[in-house]
Amino acid sequence: MTRTVQQLFDLTGKTALVTGGSRGLGLQMAHALGEAGARIMLSSRKAEDLEQAAAELQAAGIDARWIAADCAKESEIHRLADETLARMGDLDILVNNAGAAWGAPAEDHPLEAWDKVMNLNVRGYFILSQHIAKKSMIARRSGRIINLASIAGLGGNPEGHNTIAYNTSKGAVINFTRTLGAEWGKYNITVNAICPGFFPSRMTQGTLAAMGEETLAAHAPLKRLGDDEDLKGLCVLYASDAGKHITGQWLAVDGGVSVVTGG
């Protein structure tokens, strides 16, 4: 029997791990998945932030818990994956969202900063995806992986941004998504990416302060920045059976910025 739209988007009984989930875009996506019925495991480095985020989700009626871990370190990633599976059972949805940025002119960019960004934004996504797939998703031939990229990964740097490592890492995430989606389709694991534009967050606050929210919003055809709802629909689409025939894809959620910049 053909399911209704509501049934296709329903995540009741599903489990989800959201890295970088204690604030910002990660917490927004955790809300979305939880509101659609999923049980949520949040992760980031700071226990205090996670405790507050989990309490916020629980106050909204969402089954949420947390594990503090550094997703730039292989041993921590493995611990996070194993503890999540031990506490929640098989994992249906993995949201790779933990990330870092660094601003410096390319000619002066510190190598240690380059490595920090790459280790968290690319290497960490690979290690966690591989571990979860081998421990849970491949054997069951079922899984949804959602990678947070960025419109910064679609093209070069606007003058004054100076974020070569971040842009490079997000470009890598897009092709990581395409390649993994192609390779793991045989296991019925979908792998897709979200490319946000500017959303007010702790990571973007420096850029927003320097360039001005109104100025940045003016560059978008929709004349606005992202808000606390704008990633919810796409996240649930990728995570649910409504998106079961979508894999290896990316979609920009940027108010149209990438349209006018050629991304």
The answer to whether residue 208 is domain-embedded is: yes
Averaged pLDDT of the chain: 94
Hey, which residues are catalytic here?
166
Q: Which residue has the tokens 């702790």?
A: 202
Of residues 175, 192, 203, 174, the one with CA closest to residue 98: 203
Residue 51 belongs to domain with CATH number: 3.40.50.720
Determine if the pTM surpasses 0.75: yes
Contact indicator for 111, 165 with CB cutoff of 8 Å = no
What is the SS3 assignment for 193?
strand
Task: Assess whether pLDDT exceeds 60 at residue 240.
Answer: yes
**Residue 207: pLDDT band with limits 50, 70, 90:** low
Instruction: Mention every residue, 6+ apart, whose C-beta is less than 8 A from residue 23.
Output: 44, 49, 53, 201, 202
| pLDDT of the residue at 4 | 98
Report yes or no on 75 lying in a domain: yes
Give the DSSP letter string of 56-119: HHHHTT--EEEEE--TTSHHHHHHHHHHHHHHH-S--EEEE-------B-GGG--HHHHHHHHI
Asked if the structure places residue 261 within a domain, the reply is no
Q: Are 26 and 44 in contact (CB under 8 A)?
A: yes
Calpha distance 36→256 (Å, rounded):
27
Ramachandran sector of residue 92 (left: φ over 0; alpha: ψ -120 to 50; beta: rest): alpha
Q: Tens digit of pLDDT for each residue in 248-261?
A: 999 999 999 999 87
Is 263 inside any structural domain?
Answer: no
Tokens of 203: 């990571």
Listed range (89-93, 111-115, 257-261) with the worst mean pLDDT = 257-261
Query: Is the per-residue pLDDT at 203 higher than 70?
Result: no
> What percent of the chain has pLDDT above 70?
93
Instruction: Examine residue 26 and state whether it is found in any structural domain, yes or no.
Output: yes
- 97 found inside a domain: yes
Q: 25 is in which domain, residue-wise? A: 5-255
DSSP state of 241: G
262 lies in some domain: no
Q: Number of structural domains, the chain?
A: 1
User: Is residue 260 in a domain?
Assistant: no
